[in-house]
Amino acid sequence: MSLKVPGFIRATTFAALTSLAPMSQAQDWAKPRLNNSPRHGEWVEFKSGERTLKAFVVYPERKEKAPVVLVIHEIFGLTDWVRGVCDQLAEAGVIAIAPDLLSGETYADVDGARKAISALSEERVIADLNATADYAAKIPAGNGNLAVCGFCWGGGWTFGYASVNSKLKAAYSFYGPALDDPAEVAKVACPVYGFYGEKDERVNASIPKGEELMKAAGKKYEPVIYKGAGHGFMRDGESPEGTPENKKAREDAWARWKTLLKEL
């Protein structure tokens, strides 16, 4: 599998990727879902090269084998909210696995984690995602179908990873930049579904070129822009302090996403 650096990473500076919507550092509101979930969630470990990678996995309650969705966290790291998204995905009937791309490293605050993630090399991120995909393929309860999703920083990587892993069945990119390199677009192996906030022009500016290149390459790219929503609306829309627009966007995005997940 190629370790070629995705073009969107070259085209978008890490400084821009770190200039994101503010986030509650505690995220205490995200913990009850994890604590009260009837679904089985667990931490697992596996190798990525010489490193040991940790990941959080949640299983759906179903009698059939299920697709697996690889979840790429925000630039803030593998937070309680991201783990809660894994639980929501499992509630929708799929196995969710979210690798901690800062495995083995600890930071005093969110800003420290953000700086560390922004400094990760493209090669290391791709290697870790590949290691996670390899682990996911061996999950006994999985049916062999693998998709990827991600949010903000992870949303950009989701689009990029769709050009790296030829085994993906779908990619769900939440407010991440679209690919802008024709050579990499040509390698996209699956449909890409985009979820964007209307008030997020920094990211949305990449959509027209992404649409043009994907169409020219004969690839499926379906971006949807949610009215009045800002960057990070999936997280903010779940927070008690979230804006009405973000809450509506989150609700609509989940309805769309659940329909798409049934196609895996």
Whether 2 maps to a domain, the answer reads no
DSSP character string of 61-97: S-SS-EEEEEEE-BTTBS-HHHHHHHHHHHHTTSEEE
The dihedral formed by the CA atoms of 223, 225, 230 and 231, expressed in degrees to the nearest 10? 0
Compute the distance between CA of residue 264 and CA of residue 248 in angstroms, rounded to an integer: 25
In-domain check, residue 161: yes
Instruction: Report if residue 1 sits inside a domain.
Output: no
Total domains in the fold of the chain: 1
| Coil, helix or strand at residue 130 | helix
Residues of the chain below pLDDT 50: 1-6, 8-25
192-199 and 221-230: which strand pairing? parallel
Torsion of Cα atoms, 52 then 137 then 96 then 19, to 10°? 60
- Asked whether the beta carbons of 194 and 224 are under 8 A apart, the reply is yes
CATH of the domain at 57: 3.40.50.1820
Please give the Cα distance from 102 to 116 (Å, whole number).
8
* Model pLDDT, residue 26: 54
Q: What is the pLDDT of residue 104?
A: 82
Q: Which residues pair with 178 in a beta bridge?
A: none
For 135-168, how does the pLDDT look when each residue is reduced to its tens digit (9 = 90+)? 999 999 999 999 999 999 999 999 999 999 999 9
pTM for this structure? 0.91
In a domain, 107, yes or no: yes
The whole-number pLDDT of residue 109 equals 80
Do 165 and 1 touch, CB atoms closer than 8 A? Answer: yes
Which structural domain, as residue segments, surrounds residue 173? 7-261
The closest alpha carbon to 101, from 154, 152, 57, belongs to 154
pLDDT at 24: 38
Q: Is residue 231 part of a domain?
A: yes
